[in-house]
């Protein structure tokens, strides 16, 4: 009887360990998808700013496009799942500030474009490139 209990305990422990690893991998996969949404939003905004600066976009289209990008970046931030253990906490702590940065830069871009402040638009665009690089690095390091 005691041997059966020990075996059952070992099976349960190994099953829980496997589930935990699987759960962490699933969390990382989800975080990568979320980061890719951020990359897409930031990259799109960078292209909008370039096209706007070259006079290739109507102001109303620029405004609507920036609003869409801001919504996408905000959605990515909102969809980042809460961490469930120390491993997922580390991933969360790495990605969350980058997504917050993406939303902040998108908001700044919107304000600068609305104000037609070309200097601020250029400064925000440079920050978007940085955020894009950071999010891309996150994606590549967690694939």
Mean pLDDT, rounded, for 17-33: 78
pLDDT band at 2; cut points 50, 70, 90: low
Question: Where do the domains of the chain lie, and which CATH numbers do they carry?
Answer: 25-141 (1.20.120)
Confidence (pLDDT) at 22 = 72
Confidence (pLDDT) at 1 = 47
Percentage of the chain modeled with pLDDT above 70: 85
Q: What is the pLDDT of residues 44-91, one digit of tens each?
A: 999 999 999 999 999 999 999 999 999 999 999 999 998 989 999 999
Tokens representing 45?
Answer: 């905004």
Asked whether residue 117 carries a pLDDT value surpassing 80, the answer given is yes
Q: H helices of 54-85, where? A: 59-79
Confidence (pLDDT) at 16 = 39
94 within 8 A of 135, measured Cβ to Cβ: no
49 within 8 A of 127, measured Cβ to Cβ: no
80 within 8 A of 99, measured Cβ to Cβ: yes
DSSP 115: T
Asked whether residue 137 carries a pLDDT value surpassing 70, the answer given is yes
């Amino acid at each position: 009887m005691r041997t059966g209990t020990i075996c059952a305990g070992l099976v349960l422990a190994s099953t829980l360990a496997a589930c935990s690893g699987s759960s962490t991998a699933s969390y990382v996969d989800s975080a990568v998808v979320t980061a890719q949404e951020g990359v897409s939003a930031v990259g799109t905004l960078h292209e909008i700013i370039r096209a706007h600066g070259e006079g290739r976009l109507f102001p109303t289209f620029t405004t609507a496009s920036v609003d869409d990008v801001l919504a996408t970046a905000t959605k990515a931030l909102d969809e980042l799942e809460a961490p469930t253990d120390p491993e997922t906490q580390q991933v969360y702590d790495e990605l969350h500030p980058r997504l917050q940065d993406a939303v902040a830069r998108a908001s700044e871009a919107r304000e600068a474009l609305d104000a037609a402040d070309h200097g601020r638009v250029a400064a925000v665009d440079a920050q978007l490139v940085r955020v894009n690089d950071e999010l891309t690095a996150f994606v590549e390091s967690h694939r």
